[in-house]
Structure 1
Amino acid sequence: MTRLAYALFALVLAAVALPSQGLTHALQPGYLEVQALGDDDYRAFWRRPDVQGRPMEIDALLPEACTLRRGPEPRFDGAGWVTQWITACPGGLAGGEIRIEGLEATRTDVLVRYEIAPGQGEAQRLTAKEPAFAVPRAPGAREVLVSYFGLGVEHILEGLDHLLFVFALLLLIRDRWRLLGAVTAFTVAHSFTLAAAALGWLIVPGPPVEAIIALSIMFLAAEVLKRGDGPARLSERFPWMVCFGFGLLHGLGFGSALLEIGLPQQEIWLALLAFNLGVEAGQILFILVVLSVGWLLARILPVLLDKATLIGATITRAVPYAVGGLAAFWFVERLAAF
């Protein structure tokens, strides 16, 4: 990959990762949880994004069979507008429609987690194009596989910190076989901790994990800057070892996200496998896109690179600083969340 390609991708990632405050509020997701209590009773928890001090103009609507389809007036909890209520749904949720009114007029999405029966959690993502869904009576293996694979792909592509870590790996490791070994070690490691965290076997608070993930990106950026100064560093000689260690940490982040979504009790291991495969598919897709665009730029702009050696060297030097600087910002921000 050319130096110019590295620079362009780092700038794009930085631009996406640091949106304006107003846009961030506009794109925050909503969250609806419908928990089965038994005897056709359900507890609903509904969080709406905050837009300039007011709740976003969307509202959750439960199936028609429910005695109380929508909740009372929301209250602000410091991050969003929340409300919760108890309702009875004779016959259960299965076959009924859950809708987010007004969602079609927004640019946000809503994660819906619901239970057909106590302990049997499922998840569904609603968007402006699909603001409602019919609750299935009994999800089969195919539905679980497709749904959780899609959630895995979505999670990795929306996880800018994880993508920036992979991008830093591309900057650090030039040999394709060593890169393949490092990515494989990263995959194996985060598969272990993803499963352990999602199943509740390993519980670690979210903010410290997220802060350490940012720290791992800072470490790789520093290694890129120090590459070529003296003897080969540990990250250059044994990149798989470094990636395995950091993969264990990143897996905790993946697992905590999956724990929030919930796992279908009848297909736990299939859901775990599908989510993990989705994460890997998203990761491979990102790597292929970066390498492909780098290859394309190398063919289109070879003359520019040859004639602008000094500029190219300056940009190449600036890229790891940009990556490390963004990671440092995240690190401080996440420390404050403790």
Structure 2
Amino acid sequence: MTVKRIFLALIALTWLIPNSAFAHALEPGYLEIRLVGADSYRVFWRKPDVQSAPMEIFAVLPAHCETREGPAPTSDGQAWVSAWVTNCAGGLSGGQILIRGLEAQNTDVLVRFPGPDGTVYTQRLTPLEPSFEVPVDPSSFDVIRSYLPLGVDHILEGLDHLLFVFALLLLISDRWRLVGAITAFTVAHSITMAAATLGWVALPGPPVEAVIALSIMFLASELRHKGGQDMRLSERYPWTVSFSFGLLHGFGFAGALRDIGLPQTDIPLALLSFNLGVEIGQLIFVAAVLVTATILRRLVPWAVAWVRPGTPLWILSVYAIGGVSAYWFIDRVSGF
């Protein structure tokens, strides 16, 4: 595997990245149910904004709850929220929670709910599975089934993380050095994600997100000067560079996981499942890039000479990566 092979995929991707980077992705819905007394629950429901109107999805609690649906939502500037208190005789166990209308949308909903012992659990609902039955005794399989897909979704929807990995694919020509760099990145972000999620280390989210964008700008700079007489820093020490930046990316993953929350009795399993999901998503992305590059190389072999380091197309593509990451950096710094 060489840079020439994988770089052909950049031709297609650089046309897509700017549009995706500047647009705000549709946020998922969020339903939180908290136990506030004997069979009494406080419900918080947040659904996405679609062209200044609430998305046509509705949270419906189990049939034995007194108030199954909440009041009309109000805008908080980014989404539409509503809250209410209801009584559910005997608790939630065995009842069905439904997001009505979700089957017609292109988003998902994260549900946090208390188990029989008060432990908080998480369930992800999708257009294909818009409802679920609250288990009487949630199992380890339920935790894995909820958190592993969340990890996959998070990495595949995180354009900044994917762009960093993509830049590594372009920068490192040697197969085994590339494998080592990806491995170092994985180990590093796994360490900081676990440490930050468990509360051992804490860093504010906005600066971390800004530095993640800065890490992509650094790799873009390395790509711009690739092909000279001297190897770049990231080419000489790819594992060190990947590990260092991987520590920062791990804090970004931890921020997302903290927003989701962890089940109090299965924290290690949930953390491991989410991390495995991130790695699966990362492998899916790498495989997709390599397969795309191989196909393009066979279809347009004459284009290989156009995408060597230093050629106009290479420089244009590198500036596209740097421009997108610079926009992210400025946008995130201005949001402090």
Q: Same fold by TM-score, threshold 0.5 exceeded?
A: yes
Partner of 2:272: 273
**1:279-336 Cα distance to aligned partner (Å, 9 max, x none):** 1111111111111211221122113445x679x9322111111111111111122122
TM-score w.r.t. length of structure 2? 0.91
- Code of the residue aligned with 1:327 in structure 2: it is S
- Asked if the contact 2:220/2:321 (under 8 Å) is kept, the reply is yes
- Cα distance in 2 between the residues matched to 1:302 and 1:292: 15
TM-score w.r.t. length of structure 1? 0.91
Structure 2 counterparts to residues 18-97 of structure 1, below 5 A: 18-19=22-23, 24=25, 27-97=26-96
Partner of 2:98: 99
- The alpha-carbon deviation at position 232 of structure 1 amounts to 2.4
Q: Give the counterpart of 2:21 among 17, 24, 46.
A: 17
- Code of the residue aligned with 2:330 in structure 1: it is V
**1:26-66 Cα distance to aligned partner (Å, 9 max, x none):** x3321111122342222211112122322222221111222
- Asked if the contact 1:38/1:117 (under 8 Å) is kept, the reply is no
Partner of 1:196: 195
Q: Give the counterpart of 1:4 among 2, 8, 11.
A: 8
Partner of 1:121: 120
- Asked if the contact 2:115/2:138 (under 8 Å) is kept, the reply is no
Partner of 2:318: 320
- Cα distance in 2 between the residues matched to 1:275 and 1:208: 23
Partner of 1:149: 148
Flag the 1:119–1:260 CA change in 2: closer, same or farther, 3 A.
farther
**1:91-139 Cα distance to aligned partner (Å, 9 max, x none):** 1111111111222222222211222257622222222222211111222
Q: Give the counterpart of 1:330 among 325, 328, 331.
A: 328
- Code of the residue aligned with 2:63 in structure 1: it is E
- Asked if the contact 1:61/1:70 (under 8 Å) is kept, the reply is yes
User: 5+ residue gaps in structure 2?
Assistant: none
- Cα distance in 2 between the residues matched to 1:77 and 1:65: 30
Counterpart of 1:223 in 2: which secondary structure? Answer: helix
**1:143-177 Cα distance to aligned partner (Å, 9 max, x none):** 22232222111111111111111001111111111
- Code of the residue aligned with 1:7 in structure 2: it is I
- Cα distance in 2 between the residues matched to 1:95 and 1:131: 16
Say which is worse superposed, 141-150 or 7-16, in terms of deviation: 7-16
Flag the 1:123–1:80 CA change in 2: closer, same or farther, 3 A.
same
- The alpha-carbon deviation at position 264 of structure 1 amounts to 1.8
Flag the 1:205–1:83 CA change in 2: closer, same or farther, 3 A.
farther
- Asked if the contact 1:38/1:118 (under 8 Å) is kept, the reply is no
- The alpha-carbon deviation at position 15 of structure 1 amounts to 3.7
- The alpha-carbon deviation at position 69 of structure 1 amounts to 1.6
- Asked if the contact 1:110/1:127 (under 8 Å) is kept, the reply is yes
- The alpha-carbon deviation at position 74 of structure 1 amounts to 2.0
- Asked if the contact 2:121/2:263 (under 8 Å) is kept, the reply is yes
Say which is worse superposed, 223-232 or 270-279, in terms of deviation: 223-232
- Asked if the contact 2:98/2:131 (under 8 Å) is kept, the reply is yes
- Code of the residue aligned with 1:321 in structure 2: it is Y
Counterpart of 1:164 in 2: which secondary structure? Answer: helix
- Asked if the contact 1:57/1:102 (under 8 Å) is kept, the reply is yes
Say which is worse superposed, 109-118 or 279-288, in terms of deviation: 109-118
- Cα distance in 1 between the residues matched to 2:54 and 2:117: 30
Structure 2 counterparts to residues 187-226 of structure 1, below 5 A: 187-226=186-225
- Code of the residue aligned with 1:256 in structure 2: it is G
Flag the 1:2–1:313 CA change in 2: closer, same or farther, 3 A.
farther
**1:5-35 Cα distance to aligned partner (Å, 9 max, x none):** 222233233343344x7xx5xx332111112
Flag the 1:44–1:200 CA change in 2: closer, same or farther, 3 A.
farther
- Code of the residue aligned with 2:333 in structure 1: it is L
Structure 2 counterparts to residues 223-242 of structure 1, below 5 A: 223-242=222-241
Instruction: Say yes or no: does 1:130 pair with 2:134.
Output: no
**1:231-272 Cα distance to aligned partner (Å, 9 max, x none):** 323211111111111111111111111111121222211111
- Asked if the contact 1:4/1:316 (under 8 Å) is kept, the reply is no
Flag the 1:117–1:105 CA change in 2: closer, same or farther, 3 A.
same
Query: How high is the sequence identity, in percent, across the aligned residues?
Result: 56
- Code of the residue aligned with 1:8 in structure 2: it is A
User: 5+ residue gaps in structure 1?
Assistant: none
- Cα distance in 2 between the residues matched to 1:2 and 1:56: 40
